[in-house]
Structure 1
């Protein structure tokens, strides 16, 4: 978790786990991150190697390829292989760019 927090700090955007408290959400862009699951490796009937699934959600009020490239450069610098998807959230009037990857616990 310390490594993930260091990586998020390098992105130089406000971030919170899962969500910001109601009324405390910063103006976009900002990041929410989640650890929604695991993909542990087992040996001899035990968890031998712990791996967390990580979601980094970048929220912007307009498409920002330069910001995405900056975020991706941080992930690349740390040797993280990620997948990326994007969706427009009509009710929030925000783009969500989702980066998913796995990280050793």
Structure 2
């Protein structure tokens, strides 16, 4: 799976999605929660003989909600399972923005 396929799959959840962050303008304000952002964080490519043999990209998928919402979390988790993407998960409350953030860390191999 590559990044384009990941984005297409996440869009099927029906929530706004952006790379990194939403760019808010007066004409196009940032969406209300729930929404998703995703971002490349690192690579763990398999390397040997001065070459990268297999591309392995680490990504964070960040789900933002205005309250703890197990139903929406399950929706995201079910999609990741459907895509056969193992994930690890962490959570934080962002007090200043009154948001909950759930971060799913995944790897994309070959893309």
Q: TM above 0.5, one fold?
A: yes
Give the equivalent residue in structure 1 for 2:10. Answer: 8
Deviations 1:23-81 (A, max 9, x none): 42101000011001111001222100011111000000000001100110000001010
Q: TM-score, normalised by structure 1?
A: 0.95
Q: TM-score, normalised by structure 2?
A: 0.90
Q: Indicate which of 61, 68, 71 corresponds to 1:66.
A: 71
Question: For residues 91 and 65 of structure 2, what CA distance do their matches in structure 1 show?
Answer: 11
Which ranges of structure 1 fall in alignment gaps of 5 or more residues?
Answer: none
Q: Figure out how many residues of one structure are paired with residues of the other and give that number.
A: 105
Is contact 1:52–1:103 with CA below 8 Å preserved after alignment?
Answer: yes
- Please state if 1:78 is matched with 2:83: yes
Runs of 4+ in structure 1 deviating by more than 3 angstroms, as ranges, are none
Question: For residues 74 and 59 of structure 1, what CA distance do their matches in structure 2 show?
Answer: 16
Give the equivalent residue in structure 2 for 1:48. Answer: 53
The alpha carbon displacement at 1:7 in A equals 1.8
The alpha carbon displacement at 1:12 in A equals 1.5
Which ranges of structure 2 fall in alignment gaps of 5 or more residues?
Answer: none
